[in-house]
Amino acid sequence: MSDTQAAKPIAEPAIEPTGLNRWALRIEYDGTGYLGWQKQNDGTSIQGLIEAAASKLVRNRPVPSITAGRTDAGVHAAGMVIHLDFPDDAPIDARQIRDGMGYHLKPHRVVVLETAKVGPEWNARFSATWRSYRYTILNRPARPGLMENRVWHIKRPLDVDLMQQAANHLLGPHDFTSFRAVACQARSPIRTLDVLNIHRDGELVMIDTKARSFLHHQVRNMAGTLMMIGSRQWPVEKIIEILEAKDRCAAGQTAPPEGLCLMDVGYPDDPFTRS
């Protein structure tokens, strides 16, 4: 959804057939150099790595996956949630999944953080009620050294107060046509932002946002627009014009993928916090 392509309306799925052993996983990854989450015919994807590692735990039988959101190439995740369907005759437990997949995922920068057994009705995508992202800007004259591929470098000083004033106009339900990718497949451009907070920590400017789902490139397009306002190239009131225009050309540039990180995914009955 997205910046993960959460394009289609969320609907409750039918209960999956029995014969599968479903596990929820929380994973983190550095998206640098990968094609993004979704498997493709050429290049390395996060999904391809995950399914290959899981397959090795069950004698190379296929282990399909579903994700809470499909991140784009170069986008990172600190708390992505997925589910895996292992064959039900495979003796496997939480530790074996975490440590075994961790071993087979080396040397890739993809890590299994947590695992939890779930029922066949639980779905990483359709059971989720919110996703949260952080977009990080390095705001200083010098280019990044330690944080290369993890931030968007902006030399011009940014006023976070102006950025927050503009961000406040995006909260709640809106038609976000001006902030969706041209190739976005969502049937409706209406989305509801529950959180859009901007704060500074030294040279870093963080844009934190949370919603049930996002349009393709929505977070990166919002970040590109807020940067224009924070750098005083556009006035705060410009954000209202952009929303009302319902035209992608009216908004700012699509911020680069390396500054974006999916932080967390929420569920009414979070499998990772069950006692």
Residue positions annotated with a catalytic role: 72
**Type of residue found at 43:** G
- Cβ count near 39 (within 10 Å): 16
Residue 148 tokens, joined: 């290369």
Which amino acid, residue 247? D
Q: Which helix (H) or strand (E) holds 25?
A: strand 20-29
Residue with tokens 């995922």: 105
The answer to whether residues 2 and 74 touch, using CB atoms and an 8 Å cutoff, is no
- Give Cα separations from 18 to 56, 93, 116, 213 (angstroms): 22, 18, 18, 29
Cβ contact 193:168 at 8 Å? no
Residue 26: beta bridge partners?
Answer: 81, 114
Q: Which two tokens stand for residue 144?
A: 């990044």
